[in-house]
Every structure is written in C-alpha cells, then in structure tokens.
Amino acid sequence: MDIGIFHTSDEAARAAAQIVIEKPHSTLGVATGSTPLGLYAELRKAWQDGRFSASSAYALDEYVGIDADHPEGYRNVLRRELLGQTGLTGETLHTPDGNAEDPVAAAAAYDFAIGAAGVDLQILGLGSDGHIGFNEPGGSLVSRTHVEVLASTTRHDNARFFGNDPEAVPATCITQGLGTIMEAKVLLLLAFGAGKAEAVTHLVEGAVSAAWPCTIMQMHPEVYVLTDEEAAAGLEHADLYRERWSALHSERRA
Ligand code: GLP
C-alpha cells in the first residue's frame, strides 16, 4: 500500500487526480458519497484541458428500489458529476439496476459485465464501519456483486443525503463484491475526516478480517490510500508512510 497523508482533502484530491491520469484509466470504477467529489472536479478540469478522458466507467453500487429520478440515486449522482465532462456518456457510464424486478439477477448480470470489461482503476471511499462499496462487516471477503442490507450505522451516515432521516435511506442495495473490487488493476481509496480514522487504522494496520471489510485491500498488489491528517490520526507508523510517500511520489506533495 502507498499511503499519502495530506494537509487538506483538496490536496489529496489533486494527488488522486494525478494518479488517475497517469495510470491506465480507460475503464474506471467509480464511487459515490461525498469523498470523491473533489477528485471528480479535478478530473473534469483535466478533461477540459485535454489531459484526461475515460472511455467507460462502472459504479460500485446503487440503492435498491430508489426512485429512478431521485437525486441521491447513485446513477443520478454520477451522471451529474461525470457525464459529458470526463469523456463518459449515458451509454458508457454503467450502474447496477436498483429497480430491476429481480435484483439478485441484476447483480449477477452486472458482475458479469464488469468481469468482461475489466476495471483499470477503481476509485473508492470508505465507510466509517470499514465498508467499501456497500460491503458491510461480516460478509464474504471474496464476494461477487450482490444484494446487501445496509448497516444501521451506514443508514445514519447517509441520512444527510435524505433529509437527515435514516429511515428514508433505502435499506438494501446492489454492491460490487469484495472479490469483484479486488480484480481491478489499481485501487485508489480516499478517506477524509476524523470519522474515518478508526476505519483507516484498520485498513492500513489492522488484521485482515470480515469485521473490517476494507482490510481485504491489504491483499491487493497496487493500492493507493490518500487521506487528510484527521483520517490518518490513528496510524501508528504515519512517519514511515510519509517518508515512503515522499521518496516514491515526490511530485505529489504530501
Ligand atoms: C457510501 C458508499 C460508499 C462510500 C462510503 C463513504 O455509503 N456506498 O461507496 O465510499 O459510503 O461515503 P462518504 O464519502 O459520503 O463518506
């Protein structure tokens, strides 16, 4: 793992954009939530300058049963953030079908499509309970895309997008599985704020365990974890990570 600890989330977003632009990025995996928004703004700028263009993208997850027009449906969030501004079109931005009659079949079909396309670089946020995508604690570490029940902590965390009402947050979703996510060639995870510190500590320094699903990323050969100071506050070996980052990535200030 390469861990970059930045003073601000804006600096981390700029470094993340550099990584996306430098790595093979024709097929991206894209996350939602508030964390990657700064990175998406940087990618839009890079597209305007002709430095970046994605040919296709696959979302990590989608709520089940959310109204197709709901502004917080992940398809709609990603359309607002990325469509027509990063090289992506309605045909090349793929999301799980949260309104399918048979969500289990829709999850399997989505998993097949991702496997056929092959994700070059997967962008990830981090749940405060250690989820990536919506893979909540206690699931399989090698799961495929599946229907998941959201943890109550996650519904509370995401209530801010639903009028601060946890009950208004859909109870289930379709998420790429941990096994699916791990097949991407490069993983780029962003985490900001004190609320992510415990999960970041487990992700980087904890034992690999279904109790903290993000820890499976320790088994991936090319992972970038970019945080602000608050999210990195619990890391025992932060000084070592800073030294390693400046030795390997001096062009990306940390
Ligand atoms: C959400 C999403 C994740 C996201 C995470 C963190 O519920 N399913 O993909 O990374 O939780 O969200 P945020 O970035 O808003 O803190």
Q: Which of 9, 28, 32 to mutate to test the pocket of ligand 1 (most atoms within 8 A of CB)?
A: 32
Q: pLDDT digit string (tens) for 111-126?
A: 999 999 999 999 999 9
> What pLDDT score was predicted for residue 252?
65
> What pLDDT score was predicted for residue 73?
96
* Among the ranges given (67-81, 108-122, 222-236, 240-254), the one the predictor scored with the smallest mean pLDDT: 240-254
> What pLDDT score was predicted for residue 89?
96
pLDDT > 90? residue 2: yes
Ligand 1 atom at minimal distance to the Cα of residue 195: 16
Ligand 1 atom at minimal distance to the Cα of residue 193: 16
From start to end of the chain, where are the E strands? 2-6, 27-30, 56-59, 61-63, 93-94, 121-124, 146-149, 172-175, 186-191, 223-228
